[in-house]
Amino acid sequence: MGPVSLSNRTLKGQDLAGVLPPSLVKLPYLEMIDLTRNYLSGDIPPQWASTKLEILSISMNRFSGPIPKFFGNITTLKYLGFEGNLFSGTVPPELGKLVNLEHLILNSNNLTGELPPTLANLTNLKELRISSNNFTGKIPSFIQNWKQLQYLEIQASGFEGPIPSSISALTDLIELRISDLTGEGSKFPPIRNMKSLDKLMLRSCNISGPIRTYLADMTELRFLDLSFNKLEGQIPNLDSLTNVEAMCLTGNLLNGNIPDGIKSRESRSYVFYPTF
């Protein structure tokens, strides 16, 4: 019998327990494995390094220990999802070899240290989510290399401020979520050219100064959260943001009146948290 031609295996939410089988390497045409939301644990078999996977999700399981370095050898990967496990240690520099990677999801683990500079090589990234970890240092300036990025989520990840000015290069962003930065503060980050933003969260990032008037040009916005910073002055005219469903500005140093345009939307599933 020749090799099995199975190209994908989806076992999402099947209450599977135990360890991962090394024998999957016997499926040479396998391109996708989705084991999200199970009870799997143990080590990821090093034999998997020889696969030609394009999509691998083991999110919401019980895997622990360091992320294996051999994942850097699976250069066909486009999606790598490790969210909601117990992985610890640093992000291996070897992941920088995954030049075809478009989605890297590492939320809700126990990862530490700084992001390795080799991740600057991931120029095809469209989605990066690294929230709820224990990283150290600052958000790296090499994020400017990810010019195709559409989704960036760095909430409660352990990083220090400020938000790097190089973030201005990410003009394709649809969703930008950064929160809970410690250390040094900064003025409002340069995001003027992110005209496609649908969700913008810069919550508890130690940002000072006024709210930028150019936010009014982000007419695709549906969600805006600038809460718990040190923003000052009056709220600018944001009447052009007709798609906004939720806005949160609480916990700042704003003054003056709430603009009439904001008040008038409260009857249309619009939430506003005053700061005065």
What is the per-residue pLDDT across 180-199, written as a single tens digit (0 to 9) for each? 999 888 899 999 999 999 99
The domain that contains 34 carries what CATH number?
Answer: 3.80.10.10
Same domain for 53 and 6? yes
Q: Is the peptide bond before 140 cis (omega within 30 degrees of 0)?
A: no
> What are the Cα distances from residue 108, in Å, to 131, 153, 157, 194, 246?
6, 12, 9, 27, 25
Gap between the Cα atoms of 156 and 133, Å rounded: 7
Same domain for 102 and 5? yes
Q: Per the domain annotation, does 16 fall within a domain? A: yes
pLDDT at 276: 44
> Count of CB atoms within 10 A of residue 90's CB?
15
> Count of CB atoms within 10 A of residue 129's CB?
21
Same domain for 13 and 116? yes
The first and second tokens of residue 276, run together, are: 């005065």
pTM of the model: 0.91
Among the residue ranges 125-134, 163-172, 252-261, the one predicted with the least confidence is 252-261
Beta carbons of 91 and 65 less than 8 angstroms apart: no
Same domain for 175 and 103? no
What residue type is 58 in one-letter code? I
Same domain for 2 and 96? yes
